[in-house]
Amino acid sequence: MAREINAVGVVGLGTMGAGIVEVFARNGIAVVAVEVTDAALERGRGHLVGSTDRAVAKGRLAPADRDALLGRVGFAVGLDALRDVDLVIEAVPERLDLKRRLFAELDRVCEPTAILATNTSSLSVTEISVATGRPDQVVGVHFFNPAPVMKLVEVVRTVVTAPEVVADVEALCARLGKVGVTIGDRAGFIANALLFGYLNHAVTMYEARYASREDIDAAMKLGCRLPMGPLALLDLIGLDVAYEILDTMYRRGGRDRRHAPAPLLRQMVTAGLLGRKSGRGFYTYD
């Protein structure tokens, strides 16, 4: 029988981490939300409050349910607050050294039975797992942006992840109202492996001035019935995140030129044009 997961920790409260906190709290699960500084913690709290306030304003969430949701979330600076959780999901920036250091620390702080999960989108879950003394309890749990809306979770098992851990996480995804797909540990898993060649191609097309950003996006939105065009989607994902994913897939996936990041993407990231979160990417936001 699957183990019931009743208390969860989320480390890193950027766009993905804050969205993941919301998903758990919405579904009645207590969450400890952790950041490294007070300022980062306040930003994360701001994401969560903003998102739930919008839901109330749209009539999708009753004010009392919003209060109950927020009441399930504890905020803390530092990993000590994760001593008693059943599962930790890491959602810190996509840098292998950073994630490996964090997992080594989580291994020391958390109960020996706790599952340690990473929300990485392109790094090797196996390389992260071996930074701990419990690689059999390490798994990838990859949510999509915006986490409260997107139904898919990719559950990534390594060659040493215990089958019970995979089963526990699959059961948890169902409890969260998500659809889990379970796969092995390859760069980009299923969705990003297929998606990012296309997104990169759209940047190349725009960079070559073959078409305007509006026309590229309209073609895919109206011609292929996608909810967003590729350049608008890159702004949503974050151009820094997209660059990291492409670069990692390029290097891990045999240098497939489809994944060689378009030079424009790098220039935009260097210039601080990161998409929605910085107010400007391919488009400008208020």
254: burial class by Cβ within 10 Å (0-12, 13-18, 19+)?
Answer: exposed
The C-alpha angle 143, 149, 152, rounded to 5 degrees, equals 40
Q: How far apart are CA 129 and CA 124, in angstroms?
A: 9
Q: Least distance from C-beta 242 to ligand CAA, angstroms?
A: 7
Q: Least distance from C-beta 60 to ligand CAA, angstroms?
A: 5
Q: Least distance from C-beta 15 to ligand CAA, angstroms?
A: 8
Which of 142, 200, 244, 259 is flagged as catalytic? Answer: 142
* Whether residue 192 lies in the annotated active site: yes
Which of 51, 124, 129, 192 is flagged as catalytic? Answer: 192
* Whether residue 121 lies in the annotated active site: yes
* Whether residue 42 lies in the annotated active site: no
How many CA atoms lie less than 13 Å away from 26 in the CB half-sphere? 22
Note the residues at the interface with ligand CAA (CB under 6 A): 51, 58, 60, 121, 144-146, 148-150, 192, 227-228, 233, 237, 241
* Closer to ligand CAA by Cβ: residue 58 or 257: 58
Residue 46, token pair as written in the block: 């701001």
* Whether residue 6 lies in the annotated active site: no
DSSP code per residue over 80-106: GGGTT-SEEEE---S-HHHHHHHHHHH
Residue 244, token pair as written in the block: 């990291």
User: Which residues in the chain belong to E strands, given as ranges?
Assistant: 7-11, 30-35, 73-77, 87-90, 115-118, 138-143, 152-156, 179-183
* Closer to ligand CAA by Cβ: residue 134 or 178: 178
Look at residue 228 and give its three-state secondary structure. Answer: coil
* Closer to ligand CAA by Cβ: residue 132 or 192: 192
Q: Least distance from C-beta 192 to ligand CAA, angstroms?
A: 5
CB neighbour list of residue 222: distance below 8 Å, 6 or more residues apart: none
Which of 22, 35, 94, 154 is flagged as catalytic? Answer: 154
Q: How far apart are CA 202 and CA 19, in angstroms?
A: 27
Q: Least distance from C-beta 280 to ligand CAA, angstroms?
A: 18
* Closer to ligand CAA by Cβ: residue 116 or 239: 239
* Closer to ligand CAA by Cβ: residue 149 or 218: 149
Cis peptide before 263 (omega within 30 of 0): no
Q: Which residues are catalytic?
A: 121, 142, 154, 192
